[in-house]
Structure formats: C-alpha cells, structure tokens
Amino acid sequence: MTLIDTIISVWTIHQITLRTIQHLYMFSIALIISIVIGVALAILVYSNPKLANLWFNVLNVIEMIPELALFIFLLPILGLGEKPTIAACVLYSILPIMRNSYTGLAHVSNEYIEIAKAIGLTKNEILLKIRLPMALPLISSGIRVAVVYIMGIATLGGLIAAGGLGVPLQAGIYRYDIPTIIVAALWVGTLGVFFDFIAWIIENRLARRFNPW
C-alpha cells in the first residue's frame, strides 16, 4: 500500500472528516466562551484590583490540575460527551486570555488616560473606548495561546465520548495502530499550526495598527 492509500483508508475508516467537524465545533464554542469569560473577568478584576490576586490564584490552581483529573471532576457534574470537554477547554484557556487582557488594560500608557480624562471621557468610556481597544494586541496574543491549548485539550474528549479528533487518536493508541496514530496526530497538529497562524496574522495586524508611532 502506498502512503496515500494508507492515509485515505485511515481517513475513511475513522471518519476523520466528521471527526474534524466535531472537533472544530467544540473548539470554536470553547474558544468563544473562554474569550468572553476571560475578557470579562479581566475587566472585572481590573475595576476591582483587590480581587486580582484571588482570581489569578484560583485560575493558577485550575491550570495546575492535570487534564485527566479535571475530566474526572467534571464528569459527575456534566456527564459524558461534549459538555465536560468544552468546559475543560474553557477552564484551561481562561487564564492566558485573562492574564494578557488584564496586563493589556493595566498597561495603557498614562498619558492617553490623562488626555482622555482631560477631554471629558468618563471612567467607563475610558475603559471601553481607550483601554480595551488599546489592549487588543495583548488580548489577541492571549487568545493565540488559548487556541493551541484548546486544540490539544479537545482531543482528550475522545476518552469521554465527546467525538472529535480524539476518537481516532485514542483508537489508534488502544490498538497500537501506528498509521492511525500518525495520521490523526499529524492532522491535529496541522490544524493547530493553521489556527495558530491565523491568530498570529490577526495579532500582528492589530499590533501594527495599534502600535503608537
């Protein structure tokens, strides 16, 4: 069998097209939720600096729990399937998004804040019109880290009946089916690199546009 025949046969046997769609579905939902939560938390923490340490510690602890252990925590609550997988992805990727967003919000140069105040912007307007947009390059680099996290963690969903590209990967590992392992792993890797690249382009654009002189 030639290389291409092997790939095609692995692809069809394990329904990799379907698995990819499932995978990207979980990926996008998890990404959107973690962006919303991550940025919202960053704003919340930014406006209540006293909470900052508490939140970052909580998220650091979550980050330190091994993925599999986290699944075990989540299974009794959310059952099997997509939900706990998405929840795990979100829990892991909130931290990088939130940390970067917080840094971005807090480090907008004071001169801009002063002039914004001087021309008559309220505190909230300064946050929404000045701080948040100026933090976008940093927020987007946080999202970029999250993209890679989620792409990887979602494959563990294969263990708990969530579908996605974790399924052929796990199947390959159980049966010691090397072609399947390689094809599935390479494909997940390719997708990861691809989305990371897209995120990089966006980040770069933002950085160039928002970089003051």
Partner 1 sequence: MTKIYKDSRVINDLSFEICKGELFVILGSSGSGKTTTLKLINRLIDPDEGAVYLNGNDTKTMDSVKLRRKIGYVIQQIGLFPHMMVKENIGLIPRLEKWNEENISNKIDELLTLVALPPQLFRTRYPNQLSGGQQQRVGLARALVMDPPLLLMDEPFGALDPLLRMQLQNEFLSIKRKLDKTIVFVTHDIEESFILADRIGVMHEGKMLQIGTPSELLFEPANEIVSKIIGTENKFKAIKFLQAKDVMISLDKGCLIESDISCKEAIDKMVTGKIDLCIIKKSNSDIAQISLIDLLNEKDKERSIMDLGNKLSVFAPNDTLSSIILLLKSSKESIAAIMDHNKVLGIVRINSVLMNLI
Binding stretches for partner 1 (CB under 8 A): 109, 111-112, 114-122, 125, 129-130, 133-134, 136, 209-213
Nearer to partner 1, 136 or 181 (CB): 136
Q: How far is CA 14 from CA 93, 173, 177, 194, 210, in A?
A: 28, 13, 12, 22, 45
What's the rounded Cα separation, in Å, for the pair 167 and 175?
Answer: 12
16-47 helix and 132-155 helix, angle to the nearest 10 degrees: 140
State the minimum distance, in angstroms, from the CB of residue 198 to partner 1: 21
State the minimum distance, in angstroms, from the CB of residue 125 to partner 1: 6
State the minimum distance, in angstroms, from the CB of residue 95 to partner 1: 26
Nearer to partner 1, 130 or 181 (CB): 130
Nearer to partner 1, 194 or 210 (CB): 210
State the minimum distance, in angstroms, from the CB of residue 203 to partner 1: 15
State the minimum distance, in angstroms, from the CB of residue 121 to partner 1: 7
Which of 100, 117, 118 is CA-nearest to residue 41? Answer: 100
Tokens 């987007």: give the residue.
140
SS3 content of the chain, % helix, strand, coil (to 5): 85, 0, 15
Q: Extract the tokens encoding 11.
A: 């692809």
Nearer to partner 1, 81 or 133 (CB): 133
State the minimum distance, in angstroms, from the CB of residue 102 to partner 1: 18
Q: Extract the tokens encoding 117.
A: 């105040």
Alpha helical stretches, state H, 107-177: 110-118, 123-125, 132-155, 166-174
Nearer to partner 1, 57 or 122 (CB): 122
Nearer to partner 1, 136 or 165 (CB): 136
